[in-house]
C-alpha cells in the first residue's frame, strides 16, 4: 500500500486558525534556575518561544503528509509555573488546509527546547499534555452531507436521449451523491435539449424532492437551453453557487468559464443545480456545492437556526 497526502486543490481558501498547548514538568531546582535566569544556555522561556516559531515553519519538513502552507501569524507563549513550563501556540493562515499540525509542532518544538536547555541539570523532566485546544475555518465548521435528502438527477442531452451515447455524467452524479454524500437519489431521467420538456420536468419535481441536479445543456449552442429553462421556473437564483462553480473551476480547466449553469430555488425549498455535461465538471462541482446545500434548504424554508 502506498502513501499520499490529501488533495486539497478543490477546497476553498479560508482563514484557518488553531491553538495547541502542552507542558514540561520540571524539578523545583530547574524552575528556580529559570526564574533566576541561571541556565547557562540563556533565557529558556524566550529561546523556547523562538524554537516554537521555527517549528511552525518547518512542520511540512518533518511530517510527510503536511502541506507546505503560507503561515500568516504565529504566537508562541511560554509560562513558568510552579512545576514546569506551560506552552501555548496559536497559528493562523489563509489557505485550503488547516494549521492544527503547525500549532502542535510549535508546542512540541518549544517544549523540546526547554528539555534541551535543562537536560544537564534535570534528569526527570516529563513532556506531557500536548493537545489541540481549538481549530476554526475548515470544512468541519460548515460542511454537511446530503443524508436524509431526496435528490433527482436529470441529464439533458439529445444524443443520450436518442440512445446514441451513454449518459456518463448523470451516472457519475448519482454515484457521488449517494456514495460520497449519503444522499438518496429517488428520480433519474434523461431528456433531450428541449426547453419545454425541461421546464415541465422541473415543475413536476418541485417540492417532491429536496435537490434537483441537472447535467448538460449549459454551453453556447442553440440547443443548450438548460439555464433558460431553469430561470423560467425558479423563484430565486442562488448566484453565489454558480459563481463559485465557475471561479473554482478555473483551477481545473479554463473551460469552466464556458458554462452558463445557474442554481436556484423552486417552490418552497427545492434546490436546482445546473452541472456541466462533462464527468469531470460533475465531480468537481458537486463536491464543491454539496456541503452547503442543507444549509441553503434551511434558509429557503425561513428557518431561523441555520
200: pLDDT confidence band, cut at 50, 70 and 90?
very high
Q: Check residue 136 and give its pLDDT.
A: 92
| Cβ count within 10 A of residue 299 | 15
Domain count, the chain: 2
The pLDDT tens digits of the residues spanning 244-258 come to 888 888 877 888 888
Tell me if 279 sits within 8 A of 169, measured CB to CB: yes
In a domain, 9, yes or no: no
- Classify residue 8: in a domain, yes or no: no
For residue 37, give the CATH number of its domain: 3.30.70.640
Catalytic: 224? no
Q: Provide the mean pLDDT of the chain.
A: 93
Which of 139, 174, 191 lies at the terminal end of a domain, its last residue? 139
Q: Which of 72, 116, 145, 158 is catalytic?
A: 116
Distance CA 292, CA 287 (A): 10
Residue ending a domain, choose from 139, 166, 193: 139
pLDDT of 236-245, one tens digit each? 999 999 998 8
Are residue 75 and residue 205 in the same domain, yes or no?
no
Over range 100-129, report the average pLDDT.
97
User: Is residue 144 one of the residues assigned to a domain?
Assistant: no
pTM of the model: 0.75
Q: 260: closest CA among 221, 226, 218, 288?
A: 218
User: Beta strands 150-156 and 184-191: pairing type?
Assistant: parallel
Q: What are the phi and psi torsion angles at 9 (to 5°)?
A: -65, -25
Task: Determine the pLDDT at residue 138.
Answer: 74
Final residue belonging to a domain, choices 139, 162, 181: 139
Q: Is residue 2 part of a domain?
A: no
Domain of residue 244, residue span: 150-300
CATH number at residue 260: 3.40.980.10
The answer to whether residues 22 and 135 belong to one domain is yes
What is residue 306's predicted lDDT score, i.e. its pLDDT?
45
Amino acid at each position: 500500500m502506498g502513501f499520499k497526502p490529501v488533495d486539497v486543490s478543490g477546497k476553498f481558501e479560508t482563514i484557518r486558525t488553531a491553538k495547541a498547548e502542552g507542558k514540561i514538568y520540571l524539578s523545583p531546582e530547574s524552575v528556580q534556575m529559570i526564574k533566576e535566569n541561571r541556565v547557562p544556555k540563556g533565557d529558556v522561556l524566550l529561546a523556547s518561544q523562538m524554537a516554537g516559531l521555527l517549528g511552525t515553519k518547518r512542520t511540512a519538513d518533518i511530517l510527510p503528509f503536511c502541506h507546505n502552507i503560507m503561515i500568516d501569524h504565529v504566537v508562541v507563549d511560554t509560562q513558568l509555573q510552579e512545576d514546569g513550563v506551560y506552552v501555548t501556540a496559536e497559528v493562523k493562515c489563509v489557505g485550503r488546509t488547516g494549521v492544527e499540525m503547525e500549532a502542535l509542532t510549535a508546542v512540541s518544538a518549544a517544549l523540546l527546547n526547554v528539555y534541551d536547555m535543562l537536560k544537564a541539570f534535570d534528569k526527570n523532566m516529563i513532556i506531557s499534555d500536548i493537545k489541540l485546544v481549538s481549530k476554526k475555518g475548515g470544512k468541519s465548521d460548515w460542511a454537511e452531507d446530503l443524508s436524509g435528502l431526496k435528490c433527482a438527477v436529470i441529464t439533458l442531452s439529445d444524443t443520450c436521449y436518442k440512445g446514441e451515447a451513454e449518459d456518463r455524467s448523470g451516472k457519475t452524479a448519482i454515484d457521488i451523491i449517494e456514495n460520497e454524500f449519503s444522499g438518496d437519489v429517488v428520480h433519474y431521467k434523461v431528456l433531450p435539449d428541449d426547453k419545454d420538456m425541461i421546464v415541465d420536468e422541473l415543475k413536476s419535481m418541485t417540492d417532491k424532492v429536496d435537490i434537483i441536479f441537472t447535467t448538460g445543456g449549459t454551453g453556447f449552442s442553440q440547443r443548450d437551453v438548460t439555464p433558460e429553462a431553469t430561470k423560467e421556473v425558479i423563484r430565486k437564483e442562488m448566484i453565489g453557487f454558480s459563481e463559485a462553480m465557475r471561479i473554482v473551476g478555473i483551477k481545473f480547466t479554463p473551460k469552466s468559464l464556458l458554462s452558463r449553469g445557474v442554481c436556484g430555488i423552486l417552490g418552497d425549498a427545492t434546490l436546482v443545480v445546473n452541472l456541466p455535461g462533462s464527468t469531470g465538471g460533475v465531480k468537481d462541482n458537486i463536491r464543491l456545492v454539496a456541503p452547503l446545500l442543507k444549509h441553503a434548504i434551511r434558509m429557503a424554508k425561513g428557518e431561523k437556526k441555520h
